[in-house]
């Protein structure tokens, strides 16, 4: 009976989540329609651009896509597409502006754009001034109120989108409507699981020649600026609570590592991770060897900190993907919700030493898309995360750090 109650409650949460998304899709569709209609009467001559790329996903997804950015830009420049802009999520837009050869990067706060109509209107008015030869929506995840709506509103004769059918994020009703906003829809290959390979598939469909992927390809080009001692990093945050391993687990792991090594510990994360980072710091028995930098570093500085670390340990979040990109060893406490999509990485990627090491507790329900049948709250850690022991993670640390004790 209890198992049935959990399963029913979980389904209710999933239905409510989709209903909320459907509500914003409806409101935003109406708002966008009015703005596009009115702009026809008040607009001046549009600003021509060759290529516009729209990508509003989070930092970790950006770094998984970053392996292909130069390939895309080089392909279109070879075809005389010299003027390019990137419409990017605010958390990584400034980094992309300074590290890639886009002529312009337009920053958008994804949550605010979805839920704040005034902010949405201001952004759309800015974007409606452009006219692009080609617009690309290269992200695999479907989000009608975000990237797909932007493509709808902008002017272009060629609109190409990665639009898998029945992905689960959106009701099929909205998927069908948004597909009509594109001139070319790339559905994707359901046999491809890895996000890195999904990104590769999109380029293949556009006949874009891809450079060979190499882990550790990024160089932050800055020395470490926090401490001069050798250190490891703990990344305790995650996009949702169900992916978080927990304060007690991380604190226990840190204490064990500090006992058997001369390393210091740096806790990293965004401003949303400050509370959990403070809680962990308070449980560490040697406070003079721990530095809490959660919410204190820009993305560029975070790359520097991670690049200079001996190893990074964290949940399934951006820190793991950044570590792989800058060539730092990492260990990820991984759940089964999207097992195989974002992690583990495809085994053929080199160098092997930069492949994130995953620690997980296998369960029959792996692949549930984080629609867990065992938890009542969306922010409650799921069993496939909580079942991962401190001993298991510490054992992987000893292997990665070549520690024999």
- Provide the terminal-to-terminal Cα distance of the chain, rounded to the nearest Å: 47
Q: Which of 151, 165, 134, 158 has its CA nearest to residue 72? A: 134
Q: What is the pTM of this model?
A: 0.92
What pLDDT does residue 405 have? 54
What pLDDT does residue 1 have? 37
Rounded Cα–Cα distance for residues 30 and 248 (Å)? 47
Rounded Cα–Cα distance for residues 309 and 328 (Å)? 7
Burial of 216-244, coded b for 16+ CB within 10 Å and e otherwise, reads bbbebeeebebeeeebbbbbbbbbebbbb
pLDDT digit string, tens, across residues 141-166: 999 999 999 999 999 999 999 999 87
Contact 356, 323 (CB under 8 A): yes
pLDDT digit string, tens, across residues 12-32: 445 445 567 788 899 999 999
What pLDDT does residue 43 have? 66
Rounded Cα–Cα distance for residues 78 and 83 (Å)? 12
Tokens 């750090």, located at residue: 401
Residue 366 predicted with pLDDT over 80: yes
Tokens 């890895």, located at residue: 194
Tokens 């006992």, located at residue: 259
Rounded Cα–Cα distance for residues 170 and 17 (Å)? 10
Q: Which domains does the chain have, with CATH numbers?
A: 28-35+46-205 (3.40.50.2000), 231-400 (3.40.50.2000)
Pairing of strands 311-315, 330-333: parallel
Residue 5 predicted with pLDDT over 60: no
Confidence of residue 3 (pLDDT cuts 50, 70, 90): very low
Residue 197 predicted with pLDDT over 50: yes
Confidence of residue 4 (pLDDT cuts 50, 70, 90): very low
Q: DSSP class of residue 297?
A: -
Confidence of residue 282 (pLDDT cuts 50, 70, 90): very high
Which residues, 6 or more positions from 118, have their beta carbon under 8 angstroms from its beta carbon? none
Cα 46 to chain centroid distance, Å, stands at 32
């Amino acid at each position: 009976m209890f198992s049935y109650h959990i399963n029913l409650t979980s389904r209710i949460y999933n239905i409510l989540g989709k209903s909320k998304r459907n509500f914003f899709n409806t409101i935003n569709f109406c708002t966008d329609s009015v703005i596009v209609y009115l702009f026809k009467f008040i607009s001046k001559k549009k600003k021509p651009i060759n290529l516009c790329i729209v990508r509003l996903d989070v930092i970790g997804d950006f770094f998984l896509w970053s392996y292909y950015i130069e390939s895309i830009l080089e392909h279109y420049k070879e075809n005389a597409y010299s003027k390019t802009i990137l419409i990017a999520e605010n958390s990584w837009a400034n980094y992309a502006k300074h590290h890639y050869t886009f002529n312009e990067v337009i920053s958008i706060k994804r949550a605010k754009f979805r839920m704040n109509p005034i902010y949405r209107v201001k952004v759309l008015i800015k974007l409606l001034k452009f006219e692009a030869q080609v617009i690309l929506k290269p992200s695999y995840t479907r989000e009608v109120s975000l990237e797909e709506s932007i493509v709808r509103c902008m002017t272009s004769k060629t609109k190409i989108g990665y639009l898998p059918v029945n992905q689960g994020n959106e009701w099929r009703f909205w998927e069908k409507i948004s597909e009509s906003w594109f001139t070319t829809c790339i559905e994707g290959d359901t046999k491809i699981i890895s996000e890195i390979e999904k990104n590769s598939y999109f380029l293949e469909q556009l006949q874009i020649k891809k450079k060979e992927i190499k882990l550790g390809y990024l160089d932050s080009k800055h020395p470490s600026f926090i401490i001069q001692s050798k250190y490891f990093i703990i990344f305790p945050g995650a996009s949702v609570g169900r992916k978080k391993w927990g304060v007690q687990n991380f604190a226990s792991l840190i204490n064990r590592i500090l006992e058997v090594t001369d390393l210091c510990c740096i806790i990293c994360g965004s401003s949303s991770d400050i509370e959990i980072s403070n809680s962990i710091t308070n449980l560490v028995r040697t406070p003079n060897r721990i530095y809490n930098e959660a919410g204190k570093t820009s993305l560029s500085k975070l790359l520097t900190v991670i690049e200079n670390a001996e190893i990074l340990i964290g949940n399934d979040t951006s820190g793991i993907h950044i570590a792989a990109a800058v060539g730092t060893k990492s260990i990820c406490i991984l759940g089964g919700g999207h097992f195989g999509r974002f992690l583990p990485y495809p085994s053929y990627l080199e160098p092997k030493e930069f492949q994130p090491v995953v620690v997980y507790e296998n369960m029959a329900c792996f692949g549930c898309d984080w629609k867990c049948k065992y938890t009542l709250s969306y922010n409650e850690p799921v069993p496939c995360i909580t079942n991962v022991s401190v001993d298991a993670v510490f054992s992987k640390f000893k292997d990665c750090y070549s520690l024999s004790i």
